[in-house]
Amino acid sequence: MPTNMRPYIQKILGRFENPYLKDDVERVGRQPLRKLSAGDRLIKPLLGTLEYGLPHVNLVKGIAAAMHFRSDEDPQAQELAALITEKGPQAALAQISGLDANSDVVAEAVNAYNATK
């Protein structure tokens, strides 16, 4: 891990220890289509790991978790669930993220998705 990332990591870990900051699952998971899009918080860093040959197992787990997010209050979660039901996780992820459906990383994400059902 680059040393310039250590202060940021410590700051984020400190936030999790703060009992006054509440980050419930609904807030963290909402808008999964946006979070799985090419330029957002899961796929963009994943592309960086692929470009630089870095490990990405935890990003893949995060992608799988986002694919599992369900909420009656979130239209994007409902749309994602319908897309996965209609097309399957591989095609759905490729459509949302812009990743190649036949790529190794999509296969990794689908395997992680299936492993957490």
Q: Locate the domains of the chain by residue range.
A: 30-115
- Of 16, 66, 72, nearest to 41 (Cα)? 66
d(CA 62, CA 4) in angstroms, rounded, equals 23
Q: What is the model's pLDDT at position 19?
A: 76
Q: 30-115 domain in CATH 3.40.50.2000?
A: no
- Percentages helix, strand, coil for the chain (3-state, rounded to 5) are 70, 0, 30
Where the chain has pLDDT below 70, the residues are: 1-2, 16, 23-27
What is the rounded distance in angstroms from the CA atom of residue 80 to the CA atom of residue 69? 9
pTM: 0.81
- 28: tokens are 């963290």
